[in-house]
Structure 1
Amino acid sequence: MSRTAGGRAHPMRFLALLCAAAAGLSLTAGCSSKDEGPGEAAGGVPVVEKGKLTTCTHLPYPPFQFEQDGKVVGFDVALVDLVAKNLKVEQKILDTPFENFKTGAFLNSGECDLAAAGMTITDERKKNVDFSVPYFDATQALLATKKSGVTSLADVKAKGAKLGAQAETTGESYAKSQGFDPVAFESSDAVLNGLRTGQVDAVVIDYPVVQGWLKDKANADAFALGQNIETGEQYGFSVKKGNDKLRAAIDKAITDAKADGTYDKLYQQWIGPLPEGRS
């Protein structure tokens, strides 16, 4: 999936608030002084800040990254923590606009070592960044208000319903490829609010996000899960072009976690039941 920022506080102002909440925690959000400068992690892996593995993300995007009790947590966060542990450093998280991930801007400027943001690997993005091995197989889903009676994109057309999607995402792209002109929302929170307030009758968005929303009884009472849309998407973490040492370290952490069962445990903790055939 491809996500974007918008309608939010400036990242640096957000980070100042998050730093206050995260004081004393091992996982912080851009609270350290930049004066420490770059360094090297275990195995000679270069990092933009000594002793840290700096991750750019875009909040909120549960269950992959979101705030909980003053900390940034989630599936992506937990996987990158494994990388940091192997490199003998601590993960540090910066909340940044998603559009910069597609261009690699924050990686190229030395703001971050990697980007972890529920980001689909695409050929277009590969022109600007290098991706890790895939760490998550993603599908899109249709979520509609129960009163709309919509359960599929065919229903959306037949009933003349209003369709929404997150701007600049693969969900939005898929909807457009099917002949729709979806209302574009600038964050996942805005997508959900659009459904709640009647701006749209249904939305296309990543299935794990829908799973998370429906854990809330109010959402489960108001909305119905419609068709699951197989798009063949896979998520990857991205690094600056040519940063092969870090990319290899990320690949190793993902591969090892899948081999020793850690990946499955984290999947069940943050995403839910394992896909059929893997339980």
Structure 2
Amino acid sequence: MLRRSKLKVFALLPALTLAVAAAGCGSETTPAGGQTGGADAPALIKSGKLVTCTGLPYEPFQFEKDGKVIGFDVELVDLVAKKLNVTQEIVDTPFDGIQSGVDLDSGKCDLAAAGMTITDTRKQNFDFSDPYFEATQALVAKKSAGVTDFDKLKGKKLGVQNGTTGMEYAAKNAPGVELVTFEDLGLLLTAVETGTVDAAINDNGVLFDWIKKKPDFEVGKEFDTGEQYGIGVKKGNAALLKVINETLAAAKSSGDYDKIYEKWFGKKPTK
């Protein structure tokens, strides 16, 4: 169940530009776009790049297709990169390093965008942007299994993703259920599909997206956890946080957010 130890780095360049080779994160900090910028300009770890930590796959928020990382979160962060006059580069890394704040503190990336719920514990590790997505936890299983709630899983195996709110929720609310931990969403859903676990819990958005391609599976119980996603930055990085929040607000005001949302979820946001 251990994921690969080698990090994958993806350079995301705008249309009509030449692709460049991916490179590891550097330790230098440079004003956005490599410009002098002034005291309020966000300092980025690589000149001309906005480096994003994420945990792949987490479709439709971020996932790899044809050698390129795409998704809802990716397009939102692209808007931030555009405002900073840089290009986004994505580092694929285990989620535990993201949610613990270790990746941000060590300078692996400028920000973390990983379909990540804002929690009080994570707020102690890094700073969050304004919320940009509503989510809740849900169960997924084979239709024939009849798994509609935790009480149907007593004595059975429930897959959870390491470091997630789904894992925390199941630990508190699923007595008598054996929890089996996986490092990423891909491994978790493969376990459901192959019958290694009887069901899995994760955010409803990714589960509803997955069953579109898996007609033998269904999303059962949705738990009213009232979660919101945020983009993370290193504690005290007020300059970058300001740009992120301004970009999210502008996208919602202009209608760009609704367009991106509809592209990836097939409907307009309800809020």
Write the distance in 2 (CA, Å) between the matches of 1:174 and 1:228: 12
Q: Which stretch has the larger CA shift, 169-178 or 241-250?
A: 169-178
Write the distance in 2 (CA, Å) between the matches of 1:210 and 1:11: 27
- Out of 254, 264, 271, the residue aligned to residue 270 of structure 1 is 264
Question: 1:203 is paired with a residue of what secondary structure?
Answer: strand
Q: 1:49/1:66 Cα in 2 relative to 1: closer, same or farther (>3 Å)? A: same
Partner in structure 2 of residue 162 of structure 1: 157
- Out of 177, 180, 183, the residue aligned to residue 180 of structure 2 is 183
Q: 1:64–1:76: 8 Å Cα contact kept in structure 2?
A: yes
- Out of 4, 7, 11, the residue aligned to residue 9 of structure 1 is 4
Matches within 5 A, 1:65-144: 65-144=62-141
Q: Could you report, residue by residue, the CA deviation over 1:84-127 in whole angstroms, capped at 9, with x for unpaired residues?
A: 10111111111122212123222222221111111111111111
Q: Could you report, residue by residue, the CA deviation over 1:105-150 in whole angstroms, capped at 9, with x for unpaired residues?
A: 2222222111111111111111110110011111111111122122
Partner in structure 2 of residue 49 of structure 1: 46
Q: 1:244/1:184 Cα in 2 relative to 1: closer, same or farther (>3 Å)? A: same
Q: 1:26–1:90: 8 Å Cα contact kept in structure 2?
A: no
Identity, % of aligned positions:
48
Q: 2:116–2:230: 8 Å Cα contact kept in structure 1?
A: yes
Q: Give me the TM-score of the superposition, normalised by structure 1.
A: 0.85
Question: 1:44 is paired with a residue of what secondary structure?
Answer: coil
Q: 1:195/1:29 Cα in 2 relative to 1: closer, same or farther (>3 Å)? A: farther
Q: 2:94–2:183: 8 Å Cα contact kept in structure 1?
A: no
Q: 1:173/1:34 Cα in 2 relative to 1: closer, same or farther (>3 Å)? A: closer
Partner in structure 2 of residue 214 of structure 1: 211
Write the distance in 1 (CA, Å) between the matches of 2:47 and 2:110: 11
Partner in structure 1 of residue 255 of structure 2: 261
Write the distance in 2 (CA, Å) between the matches of 1:240 and 1:11: 23
Q: 2:157–2:178: 8 Å Cα contact kept in structure 1?
A: no
- Out of 27, 30, 48, the residue aligned to residue 39 of structure 1 is 30
Q: 1:147/1:154 Cα in 2 relative to 1: closer, same or farther (>3 Å)? A: same
Q: 1:29/1:191 Cα in 2 relative to 1: closer, same or farther (>3 Å)? A: farther
Write the distance in 2 (CA, Å) between the matches of 1:162 and 1:214: 20
Write the distance in 1 (CA, Å) between the matches of 2:130 and 2:21: 25
One-letter amino acid matched to 2:164: T
One-letter amino acid matched to 2:172: S
Partner in structure 2 of residue 3 of structure 1: none
Instruction: Give the superposition deviation at 1:243.
Output: 0.4
Aligned residue pairs, count: 259
Instruction: Give the superposition deviation at 1:28.
Output: 6.8
Matched, 1:231 2:219: no
Q: 2:159–2:188: 8 Å Cα contact kept in structure 1?
A: yes
One-letter amino acid matched to 2:45: V
One-letter amino acid matched to 1:210: L
One-letter amino acid matched to 2:133: F
Instruction: Give the superposition deviation at 1:31.
Output: 2.4
